[in-house]
Structure 1
Amino acid sequence: MPIELKMPALSPTMEEGTLARWLVKEGDKVSSGDLLAEIETDKATMEFEAVDEGIVTQILVAEGTDGVKVGAVIAMIQGEDEDAAPSAVAPVQSVPPVAAEKVAPTTQAVEPTAAAPRSQAAAATPAPSQNNDRVIASPLAKRIANNKGLDLTAVAGTGPNGRIVKADVEALSGGTVAATAPNASLRTEAPVVKPTAIDTDIPHEVVKLSNMRKTIARRLTESKQQVPHIYLTVDVRLDALLKLRGELNASLESRGIKLSVNDMLIKALALTLIQVPACNVSFAGDNMLQYSRADISVAVSVPTGLITPIVTDAANKSLSKISTEVAELAARAKDGKLKPHEYQGGTASISNMGMMGIKQFDAVINPPQAMILAVGAGEKRPYIVDDALAIATVMSVTGSFDHRAIDGADGAMFMKVFKELVEKPLGLVA
């Protein structure tokens, strides 16, 4: 019987995608694990692999087609031992994104970050069918799961007929399922957003939105409408941290590592989350998720928008390790090469616009995270040092907190501990 090849959910926030490029053509023989196409999601361009063997008999969606809904049939595969027959499935047309979408409760579209994914379980098709307790998964997915010691019996596959594929295993190995599945029940219908037609005689050009930009727009609107933000700002003296950074960089020069101020702030944020666990949480309706690990989502600007790769367990990593990881993640984010588990999840975010000269700003929370730290520029200011007026290097830092999950007093304690860690930075290397 012909096998329908459907548009996969390659990211938990993916509602639709662009079929960027076919890697096969009609008549080609494919095996399980072969790459079939490149698909642009709301996060990156990802490769789509075959889960069944057979011959590609019909390609229903042309290269470059936008707005292909998850689950839409994009091609047909015929088993080698079957007679090929034309499919009655009509080619998919590009669909403009005008319908209402559901709230997707997980990482990454904040000020200024990319869209947050929802749980893998919620985004996927129904759970994979099992015959005699056999998990239906591609050979590549099984091999990855076996190497990582992962149990696939509870994983919902996004491949044809619920088949578990590589992306599902990578998301599971990144901890996304466990961290975000409890929030799946929180999704509600978002208001219908109609496209705004602008009648203008001002010379202009129409620029088509990327999938990432569409998701950013939706997620930012949802966050501001549904999450009650509370903003708390402190001024932090940087002189001691800058001095320590200079000394550390001198010792790390032979290893080719150069710490940035942002690397040190990531570590300070992670340590603060561990010291003030009331802020390392997610609001989940009738429940609260209390995290015991600090995974920091770091805002990175990319050509198509913004995305937040994650430094996992940052509180227990050295500054040099954080620096190396952030540089490598940022480079691959700009090339669109991040894997799902590298940008899905996170317990809190940091957005640093100080490097662009911004003195102070309020960032938008990235649900289901309950806080984000907005970092302004360090600048010389009059400041009281040892009870005397002096000139010091000071930056303004604003924490945005989800008031459903975090009380003002807990947020204030968080900002106090963060300030102390930055102003006495030896605690970052202890």
Structure 2
Amino acid sequence: MPEVPIVMPQLGESIAEATIVKINVAIGDVIEAEQDLIEVETNKATMSVPTLCGGIIKDLCLEEGVSYAVGSVLGVIDVTDEEIQRTGVSTVQQDQVEDQSHAPESDGESEDDEEANLHFKTEGGGYFEPKAVEPNVQGLPVPMGNKGAHYISPRMRARMNELGLQAADISAVNGSGAGGRVTVADLEKFLDYISAWPSSAASPMRLAVADAMRRSWSRPLATVARPIVMDALLAHRSAQVPKPGLTLYVLRAFALALAEHPEAAGYLIGGRIVHPRAFDIGLAVQVADGVMVPVVRNVDTKSVKELSNDYAELVELARGRRLTEEHTRGGIATVTNFGTFGLTWGTPIPLPNETLILGISAGVKKPVWSDQVGAFIPVMEAELNLTFDHRVIDGGDAGRVLNRVAELLESPENL
């Protein structure tokens, strides 16, 4: 009797997996088309998953409380030929024939084996691989994501390790393997192609920054921004002896805003969000061929004037590359003043161990309407840019933090 796979469907454009909440059928049950087989929960909703055809449940491979990726095979249904014709569903046997007819020729590598493909074994001993098709409103199977350009075989991984390459380093290589994956031959051809190009060795500092940014970008990051009027802040700074650095004001305002909204600085670890135990804020300092980030401790408990000595000492140590682990660990967020380079907008990237980074741009004179004067008046305006881990907070939470920072900077006497 023909077999039809039960597959975790595409339940939404951004849904990659779903958790089984309830299993409504058992092996041997007779089911009808459109009958609800399971109930699943995604990060957006709880919903039922129906079958596309009637038949008898032959095998199940799922558990309640366990999450399965979209495209995962959850079981098998025995279906009559008449039901196949009526519903038009694809059978295991049809998938196998079609996969074999479209299988690319071997490139001589041993990676298209059991490790490169996920198969499901039925009670009858047969094997099949879920068919990769475009999702539609009926929730047909979708690619499981185990083959393709992003899959790296053991042989390829070994060659990359020999060359000191990361996955991101081969993103420019066109793959000729199954599903578009990059083979060792593709990599060697690319390396030969660029061998005559001008190049220079990356410094340890550059490599450290590259590694941190690779790890940071594994998360979904987003940036929000808003302008602030700098006139009151600049006037307050000019009245101080000695003048504190502009970044100090931003550092202090950021710490106070986070102290009021500590959930925004939480860090996601598995199923838990770890909240800050102290408001220690990192300070991005540009050095030769990279950036160093010393951490200023307990920023929320000290005034701008009290922070000046700590700030000056850490900047000097950073520029002299004399920072120790004690100087750089434990920060919950970072401030970067890219306005010192004349930049008026940016999207800074937080460190891998932090959820937030706040950037401030260069000030620009702009005309702003004044109701008191009844005319446009020139003001100094700068942009604040807050990049955040979207898994931990949403745009509204980030906006509240950013608005509070702006409010404090526009009233510098409170800092």
Residue 261 in 1 paired to residue 240 in 2? no
- 1:166 maps to what in 2? none
Aligned residue identity for 1:370: T
Structure 1 residue 228 corresponds to structure 2 residue 220: yes
Q: Which residue of 2 aligns with 1:314?
A: 299
Q: 1:212 aligns with which of 205, 209, 212?
A: 205
Structure with bigger gyration radius? 2
3-state SS, counterpart of residue 230 of structure 1: strand
TM-score relative to the length of structure 2? 0.52
- SS of match in other structure, 2:322: coil
Q: Is the 8 A contact 1:379 1:395 kept in 2?
A: yes
Offset, 1:221:
2.0
CA distance in 1 between counterparts of 2:331 and 2:407 reads: 24
| Counterpart for residue 422 of structure 1 | 409
Residues 397-429 of structure 1, C-alpha deviation per residue, up to 9 Å, x if partnerless? 11001111112211111111111101111110x
How far did 1:200 drift? 6.7
Instruction: Work out whether 1:280 is the aligned partner of 2:346.
Output: no
**Counterparts of 1:386 and 1:289 in 2: how far apart (Å)?**
46
Task: Write the distance in 1 (CA, Å) between the matches of 2:322 and 2:162.
Answer: 26
> 1:395-414 alignment to 2 at 5 Å?
395-414=382-401
Secondary structure at the residue paired with 1:362? coil
What whole-Å deviation, never above 9, does each CA across 1:341-368 have from its counterpart, x for those lacking one? 1012201111111011100100112122
- State the Cα distance separating 1:324 from its structure 2 match: 2.0
The aligned counterpart of 1:373 is 358
Q: Which has the higher contact order (CA 8 A, sep 6+)?
A: 1
In the alignment, the residues of structure 2 paired with residue 386 and residue 245 of structure 1 have an alpha-carbon distance, to the nearest angstrom, of 26
Out of 349, 355, 358, which is 2:343 matched to?
A: 358
Q: How far apart are the structure 1 equivalents of 2:390 and 2:362?
A: 26
Residues 1:337 and 2:316 are matched in the alignment: no
How far apart are the structure 2 equivalents of 1:308 and 1:384?
39
Distance 1:377-1:214 versus aligned 2 partners, 3 A rule: same
Query: 4+ runs of 1 displaced by more than 4 Å?
Result: none
Aligned equivalents of 1:239, 1:99: Cα separation in 2: 49
Whether the 8 Å contact between 1:296 and 1:314 is mirrored in structure 2 is yes
Query: Aligned residue for 1:98?
Result: 164
Quote the offset at 1:211 in angstroms.
Answer: 2.0
Q: Which letter does structure 1 place at the counterpart of 2:364?
A: E
User: Are positions 1:243 and 2:207 aligned together?
Assistant: no
Partner residue of 2:369?
384
Deviations 1:101-131 (A, max 9, x none): 9xxxxxxxxxxxxxxxxxxxxxxxxxxxxxx
Contact 1:280 1:294 (C-alpha < 8 Å) held by counterparts: no
What is aligned with 2:66?
A: none
Q: How many Å apart are 1:96 and its aligned residue?
A: 7.0
Q: What do residues 317-338 of structure 1 show as CA deviations (whole Å, max 9, x unaligned)? A: 2212322222211111122211
Q: How well do the aligned residues superpose, as a CA RMSD in angstroms? A: 2.4
Q: What residue number does 2:55 align with?
A: none
Whether the 8 Å CA contact 1:310–1:343 is kept in 2: the answer is: yes
Q: Secondary structure at the match of 2:352?
A: coil
Residue type of the alignment partner of 2:205: M
The answer to whether the Cα contact below 8 Å between 1:314 and 1:322 also exists between their aligned partners in 2 is yes
Q: Which runs of 5+ in 1 are unaligned?
A: 1-94, 102-191
2:399 is paired with a residue whose SS is helix
The answer to whether the 8 A contact 1:274-1:292 is kept is no
